[in-house]
Amino acid sequence: MFVGSGLVLLAIVISLAAYTLSLQAYYYSATRASLQAKAETASAFLSSYVDRTYAEFYQRAFNYAENFDDKDSLELQFVNTEGRVEIASTGISAGSIPGSDDIKNALDSGKISFWQGKRVSTGEKVLAVSAPLVSGSGSVVGVMRYITSLKLIDRAVNTSSLVAGGIGLVVLAIVVFSNLYFLRTITEPIASLTGVARRIAEGSYGAQVEKTHNDEIGELTDAINDMSQKLSQAERVQTEFISSVSHELRTPLTAITGWAETLAYDEAIRGDSRRGIEIITREAGRLTKMVEELLEFTRIQDGRFTLHVSTVELPALVEDCLYTYNELFRHEDLAVTYVSPEEDLPEIPGDPERLSQVFLNILDNACKYGKNGKKIDVKITHDDATVSVCIRDYGPGIPPAELPQVKKKFFKGSSKERGSGIGLAVCDEIVTRHNGTLDIANAAGGGVRVTVTLPRKAS
């Protein structure tokens, strides 16, 4: 918009300058032609008296200067061959020697000559035309000179330029305001479409844009609304399918796990059979965990996900989670370093079951993806407003391109480890509903650092 308005302003300035120069040139040219015509007529008339006596010529010239019609706007001078003013219609310049080029050129060439400049005495801008007075023998005996002020012409030019400039400014204002209106009719719908598109990208499927135009923008609005509606329907079908499958899997998995554990108590089962039972138990447990995560996801999607907030002694809860995975850490040969707060922390508001779910999931990921580092650090810190739990592994870390995606549902990344891809999405939802934050970043020196920050007081 500003570029277009700037171009219009530049065009107006150039046009105004061209108009002013053209108008001034026209007025000056017309004035010059008028003076030339007067000078030619008057010099032809007075040249017939040149060959008479000086006294008679002088009297005729004096009378002409006293009585010519344009005394209010023109000054008439009779100049001798020495360049001195003999007669002047104003009487003021008589006896002076103007010394301008038009007089010298007219005396030397015998032709009409012009001069434009400023009077030395007043500084006034004038235009002068000098016509030679020629005797019967063809010799130049003097010059008859008309002088006019250019002040009125310049004033008229300036007035016209101001009027033209005012019109130009009005045109510019019309262009600017019409551009603003036109751009607003485009940018406001696009801004609205952009906002809804961002909401859809963030997962708000079904969000709609109000249609206010019947042009191409209106067609785009219809397309986005239709896309959003279909995404919402697809998500609903997906959620219903996941919920249905999860519930269908839950019962047989419970039976499989129960029978596997029962068979494990039979000491008669040995060798490959016992090993097979252990594999069945382990894989059934993994599938059960995945089913529970899927059910949690469907609860979040359909609004049935709730918190049962009470008070939580966070260090004790974290220590319980570490103890739960103690056998797994020992099996994977992982050294766990736990740094508790230097001072006793007061209890914080939260759902202990949900927070345990978060920390267990993070510890499970640290063990699963960072086991090659052989070490996990857990540290609790706090300030006046928040308390943070930092869990760091020393594994290969997360590719930078995948970091922004790891908390999105069903994101698996490039890791070959098995999983549903929704564990961190559920954890992030739990922490967010506690008015906290879940930050995941690559740690300096390798590995991943996950920080859960929770408020110390209910908001």
Q: For residue 137, give both structure tokens.
A: 């023998």
- Determine the pLDDT at residue 453: 95
- How far is it, in rounded angstroms, from Cα 315 to Cα 342? 11
- Determine the pLDDT at residue 315: 92
Q: Give the other-Cβ count within 10 Å of 254's Cβ.
A: 13
- Determine the pLDDT at residue 5: 63
DSSP symbol at 407: T
Compute mean pLDDT per 10 residues along the chain, 459 residues long, and list them: 65 80 84 86 77 73 78 84 83 72 87 87 85 81 86 85 84 82 81 86 82 83 89 80 75 83 82 85 81 75 78 93 89 90 86 92 89 90 92 90 82 60 84 93 90 88
Architecture of domain 2-156: 2-Layer Sandwich (3.30)
- How far is it, in rounded angstroms, from Cα 172 to Cα 178? 10
Q: What is the pTM assigned to this prediction?
A: 0.51
- Determine the pLDDT at residue 320: 93
- Determine the pLDDT at residue 386: 92
Q: Please, where in the chain does CATH 1.10.287.130 lie?
A: 237-302
Q: Is 243 left (phi over 0), alpha (psi -120 to 50) or beta?
A: alpha
Q: Please, where in the chain does CATH 3.30.565.10 lie?
A: 310-455
Q: Give the CATH class of 310-455.
A: alpha beta
**Alpha helix positions (H), 265-351:** 271-302, 314-324, 326-331
> Which residues pair with residue 126 across a beta bridge?
117, 149
- How far is it, in rounded angstroms, from Cα 406 to Cα 439? 10
CB 76 within 8 A of CB 146: yes
Q: For residue 149, give both structure tokens.
A: 């002020």
Q: Give the other-Cβ count within 10 Å of 85's Cβ.
A: 19
- Determine the pLDDT at residue 93: 63
CATH of domain 237-302: 1.10.287.130
- Determine the pLDDT at residue 292: 78
Q: Please, where in the chain does CATH 3.30.450.20 lie?
A: 2-156
